[in-house]
Homo-oligomer: A and B are copies of this chain.
Amino acid sequence: MAAKPDQPERISEAEQAVMEALWQRSPLTAQEVCEEVCGPRGWSLNTVKTLLSRLVTKQAVATEPDGKRFLYSPKIARAEYVGTESRRLVDRLFGGRAAPLFAHLAQSDALTENDIAEIEALLKELKS
Interface set, chain A 1-25, CB cutoff 8 A to B? 13, 16
Interface set, chain A 98-112, CB cutoff 8 A to B? 98-99, 101-106, 108, 110-112
Interface set, chain A 65-108, CB cutoff 8 A to B? 79, 82-83, 85-87, 89-90, 92-94, 97-99, 101-106, 108
Interface stretch among A29-37, A41-49, A55-63, A120-128? Answer: A120-128
The 6 closest A-B pairs by CB, nearest first: A99-B118, A99-B115, A98-B115, A89-B89, A102-B119, A83-B108
Residues of chain B within 8 A (CB-CB) of A93 are 82, 85-86
Number of copies: 2
